[in-house]
Structure 1
Amino acid sequence: MAAKPNPTIRRRRLGAELRQLRLASGLKSKEVAERLMVSQPKISHLENGNRATSPRDVRDLCAIYGVTDQQVIDSLMEMARESGERGWWHPYGGHADSAYIGLETDAASLHTYAPMMVPELLQTPAYAQAVIEETIPLPTAEQAATRLKVRLRRQHRIYDPARPLHLQVVLDESALRRVIGSPAIMRGQLEHLNALSAEPHITMRVLPYTAGAHPGLPGQFSILQFAENPQVGVVHLERFANGLYLEKPSDVQYYSAMHDHLQTRALDPAGTRDFIADATKTYAALQP
């Protein structure tokens, strides 16, 4: 059975196609907005993939851009219909990370640098719950439970036998030393990390304090790549409210080179397992 199209990916691909058609027509977004009798921000949102596009909008835009090839029009309209579908995460409400979850769900590989805590895809339920409760200002019990459910559901991607997400993770030593929840929770989390590191599709490296200054000091970042177009990637920079997405090839190349540099500065996978095992013993000694 064919995989169900990912609405987030479809929106972004459709937006990119519409932008290329507009540029080829020589029209400014303001001019297009005036012809459609809509606001200019709507055109920007459509082109950035921030909102679903109706087949009718696609038909009207194709007319404005002078597209006459019916196969092209039909293909774009089908993409518009697929972009309006709901992903598995939508029933959980307006999740702040819904755009990122859509990309992550469809990604073939993920390269990430985590300076402060264990990445969400690798968190144990107890660690994830502690992070949610301690980082969200005044969460209600319902909000905390929903976020935990969504986070654990996202982890299905790394256990999918048909297409497991290939992970290249660089963990700063700070993520292992910061006690989140309790020593017992940290011990369980580190044991979980070492178990995951044995998976063939997961490569984990620890960047120890002794590595000194390095390009990752400004903060966390992730690079997502997709099977349908391995040459195109998306960089995600995590922020307090909404994440920042970089898609220019030069930006993706820059962060990919940065991640490669961090991997060379970090411990190799075998040394990482030993390092995590030693840190685990430290937390075991702190338990009553």
Structure 2
Amino acid sequence: MPNSPLAPTIRRRRLGSTLRKLRNDVGLTLDDAAEAMGWKGPKLSKIETATQAIRPNDLAELLTVYKVSDPGIRAALEGLRKDANKKGWWQTYSGIVLPSYADYISLESDATQVCVWTPLLVPGLLQTAAYARETIAGITTTRSPEEVAALAEVRIARQSVLTRPGNPLELWAIIHEAALHQRFPARPHTMREQLRRLLDASEMPNVTIQIMPLGSTAHPGLEGGFGLARFSQPMPDLVHLENASGATYVEGEDAAPFVRAYERIRAAALSVEDSVVRITELEEGLRK
């Protein structure tokens, strides 16, 4: 029986796209690079599209063909290859966490910086447990109370990337003010606690929070929210888009419009200092 096609993990897809970028950077076609390796073209194509794994010796030789001599870059790509099928802590929740969500958690764990624009919700990395439970329960149409509780646990566990030793994730979050006016009648203190959490997070050196005011000018974020994950060079940026049908990833040169859009969204939002003032005003308003 022939071997089944290899299911591409998000790490293997990132490795493949990075190798494609490096090949293009040195001006080699698929056939040119494959010939230099003594391969047939389809093998390299399968590696770049993440339907075939690459052996460590082959990766090292391919990077030499691509004139990659930086030991840090070579080590990073070997680490990506080695960890392609590595199971993360979220695998404990494999019956609850969908594959697309597991991919996103994997991205967060590997990224050096995540930039998010969230027009409707507080970003998951900044949510309180109560806010997570309330919003997950409100959004889902198929999850049981037990599954909602487990998903809230996952959301809180994700936040460990912000405090991991040595290289905490840098988070830049732009949140629409409308999201901060959400109320939860069954638990009225939820939003006040969430606003307090945002104020505490804003004091972390690796977290930047901006608020998009209700009276903002028009900006590219009107088309919807997205997340931009950035990694050590030469790995390309990756954009995460999500809706009711699942997640979509955009990478490489295709991510460039989102990078430009994020800069314009950031310019339209309140300054970091004014954002803290606005969050404080909203939190104080809920004390009355």
**TM score, norm. by length of structure 1:** 0.76
Partner SS state of residue 101, structure 1: helix
Supply the AA of the counterpart residue of 1:12: R
CA gap of 1:78–1:129, structure 2 versus 1, over 3 A, is closer
> Which residue number corresponds to residue 93 of structure 1?
94
Q: Give the Å deviation of 1:158.
A: 0.8
**Which residue of 242, 257, 266 maps to 1:254?**
257
Matches within 5 A, 1:1-288: 8-14=10-16, 16-17=18-19, 24-25=30-31, 43=46, 47-49=48-50, 53=53, 81-93=82-94, 95-96=97-98, 97-180=101-184, 182-226=187-231, 228-229=232-233, 232-249=236-253, 251-285=254-288
Q: Which moved more, 1:103-112 or 1:158-167?
A: 158-167
Q: Which moved more, 1:105-114 or 1:179-188?
A: 179-188
For 1:187 and 1:78, the matched residues in 2 are separated by 42
Percent of matched pairs sharing the same residue: 27
**TM score, norm. by length of structure 2:** 0.76
For 2:257 and 2:176, the matched residues in 1 are separated by 20
The alignment covers a number of residue pairs equal to 258
CA gap of 1:149–1:101, structure 2 versus 1, over 3 A, is same
Q: Residues 195 and 283 of structure 2 are in contact (CA less than 8 Å); yes or no, is this contact kept in structure 1?
A: yes
For 2:233 and 2:82, the matched residues in 1 are separated by 21
CA RMSD of aligned residues (A): 3.6
For 2:166 and 2:31, the matched residues in 1 are separated by 42
For 1:48 and 1:123, the matched residues in 2 are separated by 35
For 1:110 and 1:241, the matched residues in 2 are separated by 23
For 2:142 and 2:169, the matched residues in 1 are separated by 33
For 2:279 and 2:63, the matched residues in 1 are separated by 55
1:183-226 C-alpha deviation (Å, 9 max, x unpaired)? 31000000110111111111111110111322101111111111
Q: Residues 110 and 165 of structure 1 are in contact (CA less than 8 Å); yes or no, is this contact kept in structure 2?
A: yes
Structure 1's unaligned 5+ residue stretches are 1-6
Q: Give the Å deviation of 1:78.
A: 8.5
Partner SS state of residue 213, structure 1: coil
CA gap of 1:83–1:175, structure 2 versus 1, over 3 A, is same
> Which residue number corresponds to residue 3 of structure 2?
none
Supply the AA of the counterpart residue of 1:254: P
1:122-177 C-alpha deviation (Å, 9 max, x unpaired)? 00000001111111113113321221121111100012231111111111111111
Supply the AA of the counterpart residue of 2:220: P
